[in-house]
Amino acid sequence: MIETIKIKSLNWHHILDPNDDDFQFLRDTYHFHPLDIEDCRSVNQRPKIDIYPEYYFLILHFPNFDRWNRFLKTREVKVFWGTDFIITIGQSHWVVKDLFNSAKELSDIHGVLKVESSDALLYKILEHLMIETFALIKKIGIEVELINRDLFNTRAEKTIERISLTRRNIILINTIFKPQLKLFQKFESGEISGFQENMNDYWGNILDYYQKMWDMIEDYEEMIEGLSKTFDSLQTNRTNEIIKVLTFFSSIMLPLTLITSLYGMNIKLPYQEDPHSFLYLAGISILIVFGLLYYFKRRKWL
């Protein structure tokens, strides 16, 4: 189903779940390239921009939390735009849907939105996406700080899960941002000009958002790697302490086990018939225990 907002001479079409009739409408009305139509039918396309004399076709990716606010997922934003139209298509990021619905309400009430061109409308859409993504990255930063705070107090299993989850989300954002950073550098430099003059500063603002978020996510990546190494060191140290204690017990019990094993054999041994043999063995065992403890202490193993 195609929904449309008319802003003066500009049309904004939003197609949430495009079907064959919708694609036929795009072909007949705007004469889009068949490969672009095919890209709209599929998902998980790489970010790109296709430039034609009459229109541009843009695919961008933005992160979005799942409904449990744990895992980040990639949401595609596919946009056709020409001199007098913008078309957002497919199951786009929720920000695009909300912005369209808000714009539709304003259009119904006031009859017009304060957008002068398709480039300006595209910038408005991208700016809202940048603001939402910026807030999302700040949430990741807060989670990194919480992991840092709770590193020494939380159970190991929980900490491992949180570190792994945060690292996964950071890697996903890096994967999303890397190709798009170069794309908007082309916008700012004028290599991709759009349809309206004097938009370079606006594209530069989008690039500034990207660069700021890129710097933030790089900082968080370094922090989470540092926390991961610190956690690994803590776990290694705890494991070593446990092994150390068990080794002490084994070292102390070994000679005692040897003595009791000897006197458990069915052979004649010295003092076996002595009524005080148990006391002798107990005394020797106690001396061995304290002797080993003294030895460990002097070697500073305890």
Query: Could you count the other beta carbons within 10 Å of the beta carbon of residue 248?
Result: 15
Tokens representing residue 29 in the block:
């009305």
More confident residue, 176 or 91: 176
For residue 109, pLDDT beyond 70: no
9-42 pLDDT per residue, tens: 888 888 888 888 989 989 999 999 999 999 988 8
- Say what the alpha-carbon torsion angle 262, 265, 271, 273 is, to the nearest 10 degrees: 160
Confidence at residue 225, expressed as pLDDT on a 0 to 100 scale: 92
Strands, sheet with 85-89, edge to edge from the N-terminal-most edge strand: 2-7, 10-15, 85-89, 72-82, 55-65, 48-51
> 38-67: per-residue pLDDT in tens?
998 887 778 888 989 899 999 999 988 876
pLDDT confidence tier of residue 79, bands split at 50, 70 and 90: very high
Q: In the chain, what is the straight-line distance between the N-terminal and C-terminal CA atoms, in Å?
A: 75
pLDDT tens string 154-195: 777 888 888 999 999 999 999 888 888 888 888 777 777 777
pLDDT of 252-296, one tens digit each?
Answer: 888 878 777 777 776 676 766 777 777 777 788 888 888 888 877
Residue for token pair 């990207």: 210
DSSP secondary structure string for all residues of 152-218: TTS-HHHHHHHHHHHHHHHHHHHHHHHHHHHHHHHHHHTSS--SSSS-HHHHHHHHHHHHHHHHHHH
Q: In this structure, are residues 7 and 78 in contact, taking their beta carbons and an 8 Å threshold? A: no
Tokens coding 175 = 């994967």
- pLDDT in the model for residue 222: 93
- How far apart CA 271 and CA 254 sit, in angstroms, is 22
Phi/psi for 51 (5° steps) reads -110, 125
pLDDT score of 111: 47
- pLDDT, mean of residues 200-224: 89
Q: Considering Cα of 163, then 168, then 174, then 180, what sign does the dihedral take?
A: negative
Contact 213, 133 (CB under 8 A): yes
Question: Which residue segments constitute the domains of the chain, with CATH numbers given?
Answer: 2-236 (3.30.460.20), 238-298 (1.20.58.340)
Q: Residue 133: which of 98, 70, 176, 100 has the closest Cα? A: 176
Q: State yes or no: pLDDT of 112 exceeds 60.
A: no
| Eight-class DSSP state of 88 | E
Tokens of 70: 């744990």
What pLDDT was estimated at residue 141? Answer: 93
Mean pLDDT of 80-104: 83
Q: Which two tokens stand for residue 182?
A: 């170069």
* pLDDT attached to residue 215: 92
pLDDT tens, residue by residue, 68-77: 767 888 888 8
Q: How high is the pLDDT of residue 217?
A: 93
Higher-scoring residue by pLDDT: 197, 115: 197
Residue 56 φ/ψ, nearest 5 degrees: -120, 150
pLDDT tens-digit series, residues 215-264: 999 999 999 999 989 888 888 888 888 888 888 888 888 887 877 777 77
Mean pLDDT taken over the chain: 83
Bridge partners (DSSP) of residue 71 are: none
What is the token pair recorded at 42? 């599929």
Distance from the Cα of residue 29 to its chain's centroid? 40
* Of residues 84, 100, 77, the one with CA closest to residue 196: 84
Is the predicted pLDDT of residue 114 greater than 80, yes or no?
A: no
